Amino acid sequence: MNSNNKVACPLDCYDACQGQMIDGNIKGSKEHKTTNGKLCVNFANLLKEDNLKKSFFEGNEISLKESLNILVDKLKTTTPSKTLFYKGSGNIGVMQSVTKNFFTQYGATLTKGSLCDGGGGAGIEAGRQNVINPPIQKLIDADIIIVWGRNFTVTSSHMYNLVKDKTFITIDPLCTDIAKKSQIHMQINPKTDYELALLFTRFAHMQDLENSQFIEEFGNGADWFFDIARNRPLVSYEATTGISLSQVYEFFDLIKDKKVAIVLGLGVQKYFEGAQITRCIDSFAAYMGFHKQDAGGIWYLSDSGFGYEKPFEIKGTNKKVSIPEVEFSSYDLVFIQGGNPVISHPNTQKVIDGLDKTFVVYFGTTLNETCEYADLIIPSCSFLSKRDVRLSYGHELKSISDVVIAKDENTMSEYELTSYLIEQFNLKELKKEDEIISYYENHKPKLEDFETFDFVEELDIEPLYKEKTNDNFYFITGKSKKSLNSQFTNDNFVYLNATTNFKDEDIVNISSKYGSAKFIVKINDDVKSNCAFFFAGNKNANYLTPAKEDESSFSAIFQEVLVEIELS
Ligand SMILES: Nc1nc2c(c(=O)[nH]1)N[C@H]1C(S)=C(S)[C@@H](COP(=O)(O)OP(=O)(O)OC[C@H]3O[C@@H](n4cnc5c(=O)[nH]c(N)nc54)[C@H](O)[C@@H]3O)O[C@H]1N2
Ligand SMILES: Nc1nc2c(c(=O)[nH]1)N[C@H]1C(S)=C(S)[C@@H](COP(=O)(O)OP(=O)(O)OC[C@H]3O[C@@H](n4cnc5c(=O)[nH]c(N)nc54)[C@H](O)[C@@H]3O)O[C@H]1N2
Ligand code: SF4
Ligand SMILES: [Mo]
C-alpha cells in the first residue's frame, strides 16, 4: 500500500474496514483480510454526508473562532462538576477519546456504563476475567456457526463473508437473513435465552456431550451450573422459550463432533439481567468445551482496546454518572460529542425535557436531531481529514487513517479542539499525535486466553413473559442495513406479524409504562407474532424505553419493556 492514502472506516461496526484513496476514489483494501476489497453501503453514505462547515450560536451562524470563545467563556463560568461530558459512538476511532482527557482535567462530570454492549460484556467478564474474542482464523476454521442474538449478515457483513459457506444455526425472535440461510432457526421468545442455554446444558448432559476434560482443567462451579439446569422439568422450557424439544434434538444432531463457533450479539443482553443471561450462554459454551479449541469459540463484542495502553487516560476524581440514567437537566453545561441522544438514548421524552433546560454544546460532523436542542454547535472535521486508528470489537485486525483530504478551515478535529482547550486552561499537554498513532500502529497486544472459567452458579432473573398477556407485545429493536444507528436513513415504522390483525399503513399509538408515540405499521411475517420490531435509529422508538440501568454495568436495558398497541 502506498503511504499516506489509507482510510479507516470510522463507523461503529464489527468489521473495522480498511480503505485506500486511489486517484480520488476510496476502495476497500485487498490486503486487509476482513475488508477483502469491499466497503459497504453505509461507508458510501458516509462519503455523501452533508458535513457541517459552520458554527452556530442560538441558531445564528458564527465563526469557528467565535464559537471557541463562547465555549471557553462558558466553561470558565460554569462550576466544572456542573458540566457533563457525553460522548456517543458516531466515530469510534481511537483519537475520539482525546476530548475526555480535557474534560477529566477540567473536572467535568463523566459518564459510566454503555448504551450498547455493557451488560453482556459484564457477564462474560464475570466468567473469564475479560472480553477477548479468539483469533478470526478460528471462526474461519469452525464447522458450524451458531448466530445467537446477532444480525450477522447485516451488522458484520465482512466477517460473515469470510464464513458464508458454513452451516449456520440462528437463535433470534426475528427471521433475519442469516436465519433464512440457517439449517435451524430457533425463533425464541425475547429474554429467554438463559433458559434455552440451561435446556441445552441439560440435553448435553443427557447425551454425554459435555467436555469433561475442559471442565476439569479450567472450570470452577460446573456442578452448580448443571444443578440450575436440572432444576426444571424439560418440557416446561418449551412453553417459555417457544423452542420445541424436537428442535433441540435436531440442534445436537447437527453440532455433535463438530467444531462449533458462537457469534453472540447484542440481542440477548438488552435487559436488566443482561449480564447473567450472557454468562449463562457462555457457561453452556464452556460446558461443551467450545472455548480454547483449535477451531471455534465465542465471539461477542470484544474489548477492542485490550492490551493497549490508553494514551489519553489520566486519573481524576471526577464524578461519574450512569449513562442510561443521566439527568441532563442537573447540569449547567452539557457537552455532546459524536452522539445523537435525542434518537439513540433511552426515553426520548426525558432526554428532550432535560436538554431543554440546560446549555447544550454539540460537537459533531453533521446536523442531527440533537442539534435542535443545542445552544452552541461546533463542527468536527470529516474523518478524511484527521489521522486515526480503528480497532475492532469483532476481530483482531486494525485499520489506519491518514489525512487524505485537506480539512475545511471552519472545522476542527477532536485532537485540535482538545489541545486548544488544554492550552486555554493551562492544563497538562497531550502526547503528540504522531507518537500516539505510531504506538497504535506498531503495538500488537498479546491476546491472552483465560486461565480459569467460572461457571455461573446461581441465577436470579425476572422473565418478561410473566407480564406478557394476549394484549401486549415484546419490544425489540435491531440494526438496519441502510443506517448506522441514527446516521444516514431513518425507518420509523413498527413491524408486526400479520396474525396481529393490524394492516399495512395502519396508524397506531404504542405505549409502555415509560411513554408513548405514534407509528405506521408495516406487516412482516419475519417478526415473531408476539413482538413489535423497530429498527435502531427509529425516531420514536425510544419514547417507549426505560431510562434505567442494568443490574451490573450501568448499561441501557432498551428491551426490558412490554408495549400495548392501539389503532390511533
Ligand atoms: N448496518 C449496520 N451495522 C451495524 C450497526 C448499524 O446500525 N447498522 N450498528 C453497530 C453497532 S453500534 C452495534 S452495537 C452492532 C450490534 O449488532 P448486533 O449484535 O447484530 O445487534 P442488534 O442488531 O441490535 O440485534 C441483533 C439481533 O438480536 C435479536 N434479538 C432481539 N432480542 C433478542 C432476544 O431476546 N434473544 C435473542 N436471541 N435475540 C434477540 C434481534 O432480532 C436482532 O436480529 O452492530 C454494528 N453494526
Ligand atoms: N432502542 C434502541 N436504542 C439504541 C440501540 C438499539 O438497538 N435500540 N442501539 C444502541 C447502540 S448499540 C448504540 S452504539 C447507540 C448509538 O448511539 P449514538 O452513539 O448516539 O450514535 P448515533 O445516533 O448514530 O449518532 C452518532 C452521531 O455522531 C456524529 N459523528 C459522526 N462522526 C463523527 C466524528 O468524527 N466526530 C464527531 N464529533 N461526531 C461525529 C454524527 O453526526 C451522528 O449524528 O444507540 C443505542 N440506542
Ligand atoms: S462494513 Fe462496517 S467497517 Fe466496513 S465499511 Fe461498512 S460500516 Fe465501515
Ligand atoms: Mo452499539
Residues 232 and 139 occupy one common structural domain = yes
Across the range 494-501, mean pLDDT stands at 97
Residue 354 CA to ligand 3 center (angstroms) comes to 33
Residues 512 and 553 occupy one common structural domain = yes
pLDDT value for 408: 97
Run of H or E residues at 60: strand 60-62
Of the listed ligands, the closest to the CA of 9 is: 3
User: Cell 425472535 identifies what position?
Assistant: 173
Query: Is the CB–ligand 1 distance for residue 494 below 6 Å?
Result: no
Beta bridge partners of 297: 261
Closest CA to 126 of 288, 277, 264: 277
Residues 286 and 378 occupy one common structural domain = no
Yes or no: say if 270 and 556 are a contact pair by the CB < 8 Å rule: yes
Atom 14 of ligand 1 has which residue's CA nearest to it? Answer: 116
Report how far residue 173's alpha carbon sits from residue 190's, in angstroms, rounded to the nearest whole number. 6
Query: Is the CB–ligand 1 distance for residue 193 below 6 Å?
Result: yes
pLDDT value for 344: 98
| Amino acid in position 289 | G
Establish if 128 belongs to a structural domain. no
Residues 430 and 518 occupy one common structural domain = no
Residues 148 and 184 occupy one common structural domain = yes
- Is a pLDDT exceeding 90 seen at residue 59? yes
Residues 176 and 54 occupy one common structural domain = no
Residues 80 and 144 occupy one common structural domain = no
pLDDT tens digits, 387-398: 999 999 999 999
Of the listed ligands, the closest to the CA of 11 is: 3
- Is a pLDDT exceeding 50 seen at residue 1? no
Query: Is the CB–ligand 1 distance for residue 155 below 6 Å?
Result: yes
Residues 360 and 288 occupy one common structural domain = no
pLDDT value for 108: 98
Yes or no: say if 172 and 149 are a contact pair by the CB < 8 Å rule: yes
Indicate which CATH number applies to the domain containing 375. 3.40.50
User: Cell 405499521 identifies what position?
Assistant: 521
Atom of ligand 2 lying closest to residue 49 CA = 42
Of the listed ligands, the closest to the CA of 478 is: 1
Query: Is the CB–ligand 2 distance for residue 383 below 6 Å?
Result: yes
Residues 189 and 226 occupy one common structural domain = yes
CA dihedral defined by 306, 307, 313, 319, rounded to 10 degrees? 40
Please give the model's pTM, rounded to 2 decimal places: 0.98
Structure confidence at residue 449 as a pLDDT band (50, 70, 90) = confident
Across the range 400-421, mean pLDDT stands at 97
The percentage of residues in the chain with a pLDDT greater than 70, rounded to a whole number, is: 99
Residue-number span of the structural domain to which 285 is assigned: 133-301
Establish if 471 belongs to a structural domain. yes
Establish if 101 belongs to a structural domain. no
Question: Among positive and negative, which fits the CA dihedral 197, 306, 18, 418?
Answer: positive
pLDDT tens digits, 262-293: 999 999 999 999 999 999 999 999 999 999 99
Run of H or E residues at 285: helix 274-287
Establish if 457 belongs to a structural domain. no
DSSP E strand boundaries for 479-567: 494-496, 507-512, 515-523, 531-535, 562-567
SS3 255: helix
Atom 45 of ligand 2 has which residue's CA nearest to it? Answer: 344
Report how far residue 162's alpha carbon sits from residue 444's, in angstroms, rounded to the nearest whole number. 23
Establish if 423 belongs to a structural domain. yes
Count of domains forming the chain: 3
Residues 6+ apart with CB under 8 A from 469: none
Establish if 225 belongs to a structural domain. yes
Residues 271 and 350 occupy one common structural domain = no
Residues 470 and 435 occupy one common structural domain = no
Report how far residue 479's alpha carbon sits from residue 534's, in angstroms, rounded to the nearest whole number. 9
Establish if 297 belongs to a structural domain. yes
User: Which DSSP state fits 538?
Assistant: -
Establish if 110 belongs to a structural domain. no
Indicate which CATH number applies to the domain containing 233. 3.40.228.10
Closest CA to 337 of 361, 314, 355: 361
Residue 338 CA to ligand 2 center (angstroms) comes to 7
Residues 275 and 140 occupy one common structural domain = yes
Domain-ending residue, one of 412, 442, 472: 442
Query: Is the CB–ligand 2 distance for residue 340 below 6 Å?
Result: yes
